[in-house]
A and B are shown apart, each in its own frame.
Chain A
Amino acid sequence: MDINKDSTWEELTPGGTIYEAGNAREFKTGDWRSMTPVWIPEKCKQCGLCYPVCPDDAIPVGKDLCRGEFNYEYCKGCGICAKACPFKAIEMREEGK
């Protein structure tokens, strides 16, 4: 995204219209976390209860229909996935520990 807070009026898009749909991906929200989810694959039954609940699309599901490691670039540490998991396959730990 070339446009930033130092852009001049000549550089901005007219009317504030954004031409790159979905470019919010460039804005990383991972630094919002104070708690971090940790995935414990051995306990995970791939039941599918965690990834739809994530507000930030931070649990990827591959073509093999299995969830993978958290996307820590976006995870805000809300803990919904950990609570939703019936198998205790997600633990919340303090960020940085």
Chain B
Amino acid sequence: MSIRERLSGNEATAYAMKQINPDVVAAFPITPSTEIPQYFSTYVANGQVDTEFVAVESEHSAMSACIGAQAAGARAMTATSANGLEYMWEMVQIASSSRLPIVMGLVNRAISGPLNIHCDHTDAMSVRDAGWIMLFSENNQEAYDNMLMAHRIAEHKDVMLPLMVCQDGFITSHAIEAIQLEEDEKVKQFVGEYHPEHYLLDRENPIAVGPMDLQPYLTEHKKQQAVAMANAKQVILDVAKEFEDMTGRHYEFFERYCMDDAEFVIVCMNSTAGTVKTVVDELREQGIKAGLLKIRVFRPFPGEEIADALRNAKAVAVLDKVPLVSNVGGPLYEDITSSMFNRGVHVNTINYTYGVGGRDVTADQIKSVYHDLQYTTDMSVPYRFLGLKEGK
């Protein structure tokens, strides 16, 4: 029986961590994820968890300590944002290449510079090729649920990759909303225990982790990582099915909102999806066949399935919550259009950069996107800015 509560996204994440009861948490504060280690520290201080909390002196050390702990045979978790993620960037790569199923809460915030502590997706996008499973969350419920499913996915023997649960900084991390929580015993049973086959603290079978991997070996080790990421797709669906049996809440690679006959589709991730749903409802009442594809699983990228879901649309707008500085497109746009190309899906698709540095995303802005989609025939300017203040 789910428990009804009111929690912010950060509180919900910390609460999930409490129920998971990892062996080690090594974390360093950074806005807006700071509250996660703070709430968790209170659980530790009150003896509500068995966790050893390591108050590391930097995010680089946070991920290093998580790698050490996970390789040692323990469950290790952490949380960070933006520049904290950038500081640990080197170790984020190593966590995946060492095949350690560390779970991290990433509260999305703009990477410097200039300095901005508010929400965008530049931090997540900067590690999209690091070999981590990346789940995006529209609200506190999804952040909580994704966190509960995380270890079952990451620790699967065909996967063994680290996993991050993303949610929008301040927008959902600090907003208190209704949420349904699961009972401690149910969570404990669902998440299960971590029993790695090879671990540093196994005195009978000592191992060496992180060798120099020269030319004859690196390519093949990277192939193994790629295979693991591909395997994660089915595991994600299987775990979601089991989760639905337990909680009644349904999850897949993405959420299809009014997509059955949708002609004009927005694709986006995290909290903006909530705003889009409101606009879709309004437009539907006016007879406009608007739809939303909200992506939950960003890595492994379910390109085939996304392309198929967009096949029958007339026009698609991909919203990238990052600045466009590459002179090509945003990361989500690139992944989607290349998947469409490979799948033979020929639909006019345009790209918006929006909501950078916590800029408010309004219903009116979303309506303007749907307007553009209805009147888009000229594809000469596929890359656009939403909400940019420009010359009169």
Could you list which residues of chain A lie within 8 angstroms of chain B, going by C-beta atoms?
4-9, 12, 14-19, 21
Give every chain A residue within 8 A of B211 (Cβ-Cβ): 16, 18
**B113 interface residue, CB < 8 Å from A?**
no
Tell me, rounded to whole Å, the shortest Cβ–Cβ distance linking B93 to chain A. 12
User: From A3, which residue of chain B is reached at the shortest CB distance?
Assistant: B217
Contact mask for chain B residues 180-213; partner A; CB cutoff 8 A; 1 contact, 0 none: 0000000000000000001000000111111101
Could you list which residues of chain B lie within 8 angstroms of chain A, going by C-beta atoms?
97-100, 160, 198, 205-211, 213, 216-217, 219-221, 223-224, 227-228
Tell me, rounded to whole Å, the shortest Cβ–Cβ distance linking A32 to chain B. 18
Chain A to chain B: the 4 pairs with minimum beta-carbon distance, closest first: A5-B216, A15-B99, A9-B220, A21-B206
Give every chain A residue within 8 A of B99 (Cβ-Cβ): 14-15, 17
Give every chain B residue within 8 A of A5 (Cβ-Cβ): 216-217
- Cα A14 to Cα B160 with chains together (Å): 9
- Cα A17 to Cα B219 with chains together (Å): 15
Give every chain B residue within 8 A of A4 (Cβ-Cβ): 216
- Cα A8 to Cα B210 with chains together (Å): 19
Give every chain A residue within 8 A of B210 (Cβ-Cβ): 16
User: From A6, which residue of chain B is reached at the shortest CB distance?
Assistant: B216
Give every chain A residue within 8 A of B223 (Cβ-Cβ): 9
Are A12 and B207 within 8 A (Cβ)?
no
Are A18 and B207 within 8 A (Cβ)?
yes
Of the candidates A6, A14, A18, A19, which one forms a contact with B224 in the assembled complex, judged by CB atoms under 8 Å apart? A14
Give every chain A residue within 8 A of B228 (Cβ-Cβ): 14
- Cα A4 to Cα B206 with chains together (Å): 21
Are A21 and B224 within 8 A (Cβ)?
no
Are A15 and B209 within 8 A (Cβ)?
yes
Known interface pairs A14-B99, A14-B160. Does A19 touch B220 (Cβ–Cβ under 8 Å)? no
User: From B94, which residue of chain A is reached at the shortest CB distance?
Assistant: A15
Are B208 and A17 within 8 A (Cβ)?
yes
Give every chain A residue within 8 A of B98 (Cβ-Cβ): 15-17
- Cα A12 to Cα B205 with chains together (Å): 18
Are A12 and B220 within 8 A (Cβ)?
yes
Known interface pairs A7-B220, A9-B220, A9-B223. Does A18 touch B160 (Cβ–Cβ under 8 Å)? no
Given contacts A7-B216, A9-B227, A17-B207, 6 further A-B contacts (CB under 8 A): A9-B220, A9-B224, A15-B98, A15-B160, A19-B207, A21-B206
